[in-house]
Structure 1
């Protein structure tokens, strides 16, 4: 299995910390956020990892190198000066990810979820990890049904953790799904992943699971500082 770490965002809510350092390279618990993911992927047996980049892209190879120190081979999918959003970023990285299902994780989260729990072959087009709704996102994202499928309909929503297994076929016919969304007609295209997921959910092709452990969306300096304190102490 190959993996993709989404690391192209500008981290605007994290400024001034991200003016010279991409958010995934900010230190927490004594090491960059992204290194927590690299260590977990290496322990899982993943050997090929793609990192998509845009903002301050040169900082990633300068800090991470080729991944050899973790027993990994890192590949960088550079999107240009402007990030391509989650959907466009994944589509742009597909040539480096191959035809098999791949693991994707947001570079700006921290989670104690065990990647080994993820199915190597999702039942449908993707399998997503969900968590309890944090205070900054009380409305959640998707509904986890009793049969393990995800739905966009319902009141009891959970928050997408930014961790999942995807089949490249999720992107077949993506233009018809995203339509004339801003950026979709540019080269390379820029669009969000959520419309593709919702379209697949309507066909019953997205499964998921509820992780009840620790998860942090490191979206503000305050949440970064809180996570750092906890990782250096005890939960």
Structure 2
């Protein structure tokens, strides 16, 4: 195997990506295994009956974990199945030779890559530097960060549901927006959930919108 991942052959590169995803998922699952059972079961990489991680090669390597159902393999498509602690995931590979639209993107953004893939419900979307970002240490760091983010998001959404008991559907939709990185949709939902008290700029991330909603709920609790 070449010491330079960017010069590795297709089979070696797929094994590098498989090892990276496995390290990320095992680190994530180890990090959350001591949470209360019900809280752990609410995390997307634990609770989903089927997780498919798509390795999509455009200008950069995108790793998209989706809860959507994908069609069966066809032609030259390749997939691996792995599991840890009873949690299963499938890793599938797409590049311009399999999905030509990936080579035609004018912008290599997460939203554009998800559009080409046709996925909407995601547990995570990472962009990885093939030249140096596929090591085990980087994967473990990403796994811990992702576990912390998912745990915080789940706890925040539970608090929002308790504070806004009549807005269950909108809160669930906000959770999907945060997972999928739908920034503008999240900002609009937070505006609706706060009756216009919170107005977010066009650059606000979905996570920042949720944080602003939490701050608004805290403020409302103090003034009651």
Q: Sort the TM-score into its range (normalised by shorter chain).
A: under 0.3
Structure number having the greater strand percentage: 1
Structure number having the greater helix percentage: 2
